[in-house]
Amino acid sequence: MARSFATSLIIFIVSSLSVARAQSSCPKTEPYALLRQDDDYRFLRNPACQQDFWDPVKFIRLNRDGDKYVTLGGEIREWYEGFHNANWGEGPQDGNGYLLQRISLFSDFHLGEQVRFFAQLTSGIEAGRNGGPRPNDQARLWVEQGFADIRLKASHDTSLSLRVGRQEFEFGAGRLVDAREGPNVRLAFDGISIVLNTATWRVDGFATRPVINNLNVFDDPPNHATMFWGVYAVRPLHVTRGGNIDLYYLGIDNKRATFNRGTAEEVRHTLGTRFWGTRGSWNYDWEAMLQGGSFGNAGIRAWAVGTDTAYSFRSLPLTPQFGLRLATTSGDRNSKSGDLGTFNPLFPTGIYFGQGAISLNGPSNLNVVGASVKLHLTDKVLLAGDYDLFWRESMQDGVYGLGVNLLRSGHENQDRYIGSQPSAGIYWTVSRHLGLSAAYAHFAVGPFLTHGTSPGRNVGYAAIWMAYKF
C-alpha cells in the first residue's frame, strides 16, 4: 500500500514538472494585432500551451503533424458618439448622438507551410444619426479581406510570399497608409502584394485598387478610377542601440481628384523615410516625404515633415510621458497656374489628431504644434491628453479632410489660423479580449473658419466605446 502510494506520488510530481516545463516554454500571449492575419498561433501545436478560453478555436488541427490547421476569430465593437456643431456647424446636425456597430468574423486556413487562405466578413451599421450614415459609417455586410498566400521561398532566415486578393495594409505610423481603424468601416484594397522577410529587412511591394464602401450587402467593389502601388521597406538601424528606419515609394493614379484649384487626373509619386524607436526614456517617430507627378496639365511639387517625440518619467508615480508634436505639410501656392503644391496623405489613419475619432481636419496644407501627456492610472488604465494648434501652410489653399476632401476653400480668405483642439481619452484594458474607452474633444475655431458666410462654430465631441476581440 505504501509502495503504491509512493509510486503514485512520484508519477504525479514528474507529470506536474513536465507540464510546468512545457508551459514555461510557451511564448507570452501578445495583444491582438490590428491586422488579424498577423496573429500567430503555431505555438498551440503544444496542447500544454492552451491557457485562454478561445485557444481551442485558435489552432484546429487538420492533420496529425499540425502543419495544416484553422484559426477562427473576430471582434464586436459598439461605439456611441455625438457632436455639437459637427463640421463647424455646417450641414445636418445631431443633438442626441448615434451608434456605430461593427461585427467581424474571420477564418485563417493554413494548408502546410506554402499555402494559406484568409477570409474576413464584417458588418458595419450606423443607427440614429441625423442625415444618415457618413461614407465610412456603414457597410451592412462586406468582405473586408479575402486573400490567398503562397510562399515562394523559405529558408532559416528568409521568406518570400505572394498575396492575391482583398487585403488591408498598415505601414509605419499610419501617416500615409493604414487600415483606418477609427471609423466604423475600415479600408481595404484589391490586388496583389509580395512580402520579403530577411534577418534584417521586411519589404512589401504591392499593386492594388482601394475598395469603395457602399451601404448595403456585398456591394463594395474596387475603385476602377484609382490605382495604388508601391514598395515599403523596414529594418532596424542597430541591434543593441535600438531604432529603426523605413524607406518607401508610393504611387497613385486618381482619374478624378479634387483640390482647391479644381478637378483633374492626379498621378502622384511619394518618396519618404521614417526614423522611429525608443532609446532610454525617449520615444521618437520622425518622418519626411516628397511628392511629385502631374495634376491635369500641371506638375506636382509637395512635401511634408512630421515629428513626434516623447519622454517617459519611469521613476515617478503614474509613469507620466510628455510629448511634443511638430508637423508641416505643403499647400498650393498658385491655384491658377504652376505646379500643384497640396500635400496628399493618400490613405491615412482614421485617428490622426487627438483622442477618439473626431477627425475634423486632415494633414494637407497644415502647420501643427501639439503637446501630449499620458498617465498610467493603473496597469490597465491609461489616461491620455492632447492639445493641438493648426494653421494653414499656404494662404492660397484651403482646409482638407482626411480623405483630401476640400472642407473650406482658401479663395478670398487671408486668415492663416484655423483653430485649436484639446482632447482627452481614458482607455481601460479589462482583459486581453475586452477594452472600454471614452474620449472628449473640443475644437475652438480660429479666424479662417469664422470668415465669410460659413457658420464657423466651436465643435464639441464625445464618444464611448467597447471592443471585444477573440
Type and span of the H or E element at 184: none
pLDDT band at 12 (very low <50, low <70, confident <90, very high): very low
329 part of a folded domain: yes
Q: Mean pLDDT lowest for which of 47-56, 169-178, 179-188, 447-456?
A: 447-456
234 part of a folded domain: yes
Q: Is the pLDDT of residue 13 over 80?
A: no
Domain with 257 in it: what CATH number? 2.40.160.100
203: domain range?
32-469
Give the model's pLDDT for residue 157: 87
8 A C-beta contact, residue 359 and residue 388: no
218 part of a folded domain: yes
Kindly provide the residue ranges of all beta strands, DSSP E only, lying in 132-174, ordered along the sequence. Answer: 139-154, 159-167
Q: What is the pLDDT of residues 252-305, one digit of tens each?
A: 999 999 999 999 999 999 999 999 999 999 999 999 999 999 999 999 999 999
15 part of a folded domain: no
Type and span of the H or E element at 375: strand 366-376
6 part of a folded domain: no
Q: Is the pLDDT of residue 153 over 90?
A: no
Q: What is the pLDDT of residues 406-415, one digit of tens each?
A: 999 988 899 9
Higher pLDDT, 94 or 107: 107
Helix, strand counts (H, E) of the chain: 2, 21
- pTM for this predicted structure: 0.91
pLDDT band at 460 (very low <50, low <70, confident <90, very high): very high
304 part of a folded domain: yes
User: How far is Cα 47 from Cα 56, in angstroms, rounded to an integer?
Assistant: 9
2 part of a folded domain: no
136 part of a folded domain: yes
8 A C-beta contact, residue 441 and residue 385: no
Q: What is the pLDDT of residues 304-339, one digit of tens each?
A: 999 999 999 999 999 999 999 999 999 999 877 789
Give the model's pLDDT for residue 20: 43
The total number of structural domains in the chain stands at: 1
Residue 192 Cα distances to 33, 165, 180, 233, angstroms: 21, 6, 20, 17
